[in-house]
Amino acid sequence: MNVSLCIATYRRPDRLALLLDDLAAQTRPPDELVIVDNDPDASAEAVVAARLAIGLPFPVRYDRQPVKNISLTRNHSVALAGGDWIAFIDDDERAPAAWLDQLCSAVRDHAADGVLGPVVPVLPANAPAWIRRGRFYDWTRLRSGQPVPPNRLRFGNLILRASLLHGPAPFDPAYGLTGGEDGDLLTRLAQSGAHLVWCDEAVVHEPVESARLTLGWLLRRALRGGQDFARHTLAGRYGSNSLGARARLVLRAAAQLLAATLLTPLSLPFGRHHAVHWMTKASANLGKLTVFWGWHYREYA
C-alpha cells in the first residue's frame, strides 16, 4: 500500500506540531504527508518548516488554500496526494504509534475500500463535572470489520482507496462553511457500493478544547448535526427522499423536538447532564426542521 496522509489545518499550529511528532513516530509511517493550510496568513507554515528542519521520515507537501471553505481545502489536499490510498486525520488529534499500521492492516484483513476508526475525546482537567458525566463528545464504537452505518460515516480518522476520490471536487463546496462535507462524501461512496468498515483498534485521541466545554457549543454542534442529517436525508443518502419520506422526517423531528423540550426540565432534578442531554436532542431536531426553510448554521464561517 502506498499511503498519502492528508491534513487540512486552520490556525492550530500548536496542535499541528504535536500531531507531526506523533506521525514521525508511527510504526508504519505514511509514504507522504500532505498538509493544506486554510489560513491566509499561513499559520502552519512555520510549524511545518521547523519539523522538516529536525527531520521527518517521509516527504511533506505543504500548500495553502486561502478561501475559507473546508471542502475546497480537503479537495486541494486530495489533488496533491499521490498515493493509491489516502488517510485523513484532523489537525487537533493525536495518533498513537500503531495507528496507521492498524488502519492499513484492517484494509487487508477485511478487503475494504475504506476503514474508519474511533476518535476518543480527552477532556481537560478543568472540565465541569456535568460535562464528564454527560459523555457529550463520545463517538459510537463498532466491532472491528463491521460495515459502518450511513448515519455514522464521518471523517477524523480513516483511510480510503484513492480511486474513490476521482474528479476535481470529491467534497461538495456547498458544505464548505457549514460542515457535513465528510458525511456527504462517504454516504455517496457507500451508496455506490464502497465497502467501508470499522477498525476499533485504530484509535486516535482528540483533546477537547476549553472553548468547547460550554452549553452553547454543545447546542450549536447538535443543531448542525441535525441539519447534516436532514440535508443528507433530503439528498437521498439514507434511502428514499420521496414526498412521504420528507413528511415523515418533518413529523418525526417535530415530535422529538416537543418530547425533548418537555423532558429537559423534568430531567434536571436527576442531574444537569441529563437536562443538557435532552436540550441537545431538542437542538438537533430543531436543526432538522430549519433545513426545510433554507437556513444553515455556518460553523466554519
Q: Is the residue at 197 inside a domain?
A: yes
Where does a domain end: 172, 194, 211?
211
Question: For residue 107, what is its C-alpha cell?
Answer: 484494509
User: Residues 203, 226: one domain?
Assistant: no
Buried b (16+ CB within 10 A) or exposed e, 20-38: bebbbebebbbbbbbbbbb
Q: For residues 223 and 283, is the Cβ–Cβ distance under 8 A?
A: yes
Tell me the longest C-alpha to C-alpha distance in the chain.
60
Q: Give CA–CA dist 191/22, Å, rounded.
A: 34
Q: Is the residue at 301 inside a domain?
A: no
Q: Is the residue at 299 inside a domain?
A: no
State the pLDDT at residue 240: 85
Question: For residue 70, what is its C-alpha cell?
Answer: 473546508
Q: Strands 85-89 and 157-161: what pairing?
A: antiparallel
User: Residues 199, 143: one domain?
Assistant: yes
- Please tell me whether residue 60 adopts helix, strand or coil conformation: strand
User: What are the start-end ranges of the H helices in the chain?
Assistant: 13-24, 45-54, 70-80, 99-109, 129-134, 181-191, 215-234, 243-267, 272-290
State the pLDDT at residue 295: 92
Neighbours of 6 (CB within 10 A): 26
User: Residues 244, 109: one domain?
Assistant: no
User: Residues 43, 189: one domain?
Assistant: yes
- Total-model pTM: 0.93
DSSP string, 232-248: HHHTTTTS--SHHHHHH
User: Residues 155, 243: one domain?
Assistant: no
Half-sphere exposure of 40 (CA within 13 A, CB side): 4
Number of domains in the chain: 2
State the pLDDT at residue 301: 84
Neighbours of 132 (CB within 10 A): 12
Print the domain residue range for 285. Answer: 214-293
- Please tell me whether residue 26 adopts helix, strand or coil conformation: coil
Q: For residues 115 and 253, is the Cβ–Cβ distance under 8 A?
A: no
Question: For residue 10, what is its C-alpha cell?
Answer: 486552520
User: Residues 220, 207: one domain?
Assistant: no
Q: Is the residue at 62 inside a domain?
A: yes
Q: Give CA–CA dist 195/145, Å, rounded.
A: 10
State the pLDDT at residue 239: 85
User: Residues 231, 127: one domain?
Assistant: no
- φ/ψ (deg, to 5) at 70: -65, -35
Q: How far is CA 108 from CA 105, 117, 142, 159, 203, in A?
A: 5, 15, 18, 12, 18
User: Residues 202, 261: one domain?
Assistant: no
User: Residues 107, 120: one domain?
Assistant: yes
State the pLDDT at residue 103: 98
* Residue 136, domain CATH: 3.90.550.10
Neighbours of 3 (CB within 10 A): 23
Q: Is the residue at 115 inside a domain?
A: yes
Q: For residues 150 and 187, is the Cβ–Cβ distance under 8 A?
A: yes
Where does a domain end: 173, 190, 211?
211
User: Residues 156, 228: one domain?
Assistant: no
Question: For residue 17, what is its C-alpha cell?
Answer: 506540531
State the pLDDT at residue 168: 83
User: In terms of Cα–Cα distance, which of 192, 134, 187 is closest to 163?
Assistant: 192
Where does a domain end: 211, 244, 268?
211
Q: Which residue has the cell 508511527?
A: 26
User: Residues 13, 148: one domain?
Assistant: yes
User: Residues 218, 182: one domain?
Assistant: no
pLDDT tens digits in sequence order for the chain, 301 residues long? 999 999 999 999 999 999 999 999 999 999 999 999 999 999 999 999 999 999 999 999 999 999 999 999 999 999 999 999 999 999 999 999 999 999 999 999 999 999 999 999 999 999 999 999 999 999 899 999 999 999 899 999 999 999 999 888 999 999 999 999 999 999 999 999 999 999 999 999 999 999 999 999 999 999 999 999 999 999 998 988 899 999 999 999 999 999 999 999 999 999 999 999 999 999 999 999 999 989 999 998 8
Q: Is the residue at 298 inside a domain?
A: no
Q: Is the residue at 60 inside a domain?
A: yes
